[in-house]
Chain A
């Protein structure tokens, strides 16, 4: 079945450091891929998405490229801020018409001033 694996956290960085959070997936067919962010005490909100191979999703300085050959969708940001401290979830949509989504376990990012 479909699955998502993302790096375990927590990830602790200094402000202005480069961020990479790894995400790999297993899926039949061609799912859409998503990164969601969860700030403390809130629900998840979409950060970026990509719907086909080689697409690059971007938002708020974050980027991720849909790599079919390596089945990856790694999240990157060139210079993190304290306000980026949150939990980040990688997810994929169903390819079997069941309308299910699969989420990774989440990676907590803490950015220090």
Chain B
């Protein structure tokens, strides 16, 4: 039981490049989330998926897109990376809206 896995662990992009961050969970959870963590700002929600087939914007969705590929997988895409997107990205999942979230190990992204 791997929990929540994320790939890659580290990535460096040039401004304007695109990439997709992958997230998968093997706990049969319904809801999945993408957050970014920046110094002094805690965790900010980018997008979430309450259940398979649905996605919704969070607090900071601009510049990102998501795909809930199936119940296990939830990917985050940066179409044209900007230096402001330099951050640590965490994926999380939960059974339902009132339960604890399980977090992946994070992806550290640097955009130059």
Contact = CB atoms under 8 A, between A and B. Distances in A.
Contacts of B43: 44, 89, 103, 106
A94 B101 CA distance: 12
A54 B111 CA distance: 46
A67 to B, nearest CB: 19
A94 B103 contact: no
* Chain A, interface SS category: loop
B42 A98 contact: no
Contacts of A61: none
A36 B101 CA distance: 9
A51 interface: yes
5 contacts: A42-B105, A51-B98, A94-B97, A100-B97, A101-B33
Contacts of A46: 100-102
A93 interface: yes
A104 B97 contact: no
The residue among B33, B40, B100, B102 with the most chain A CB atoms within 10 A of its own CB is B100
A110 B96 CA distance: 33
Contact of B101 (A42, A51, A101): A101
B98 A32 contact: yes
Interface string B39-54: 0111101001010000
B105 A99 contact: no
B105 A43 contact: yes
B61 interface: no
A112 B11 CA distance: 34
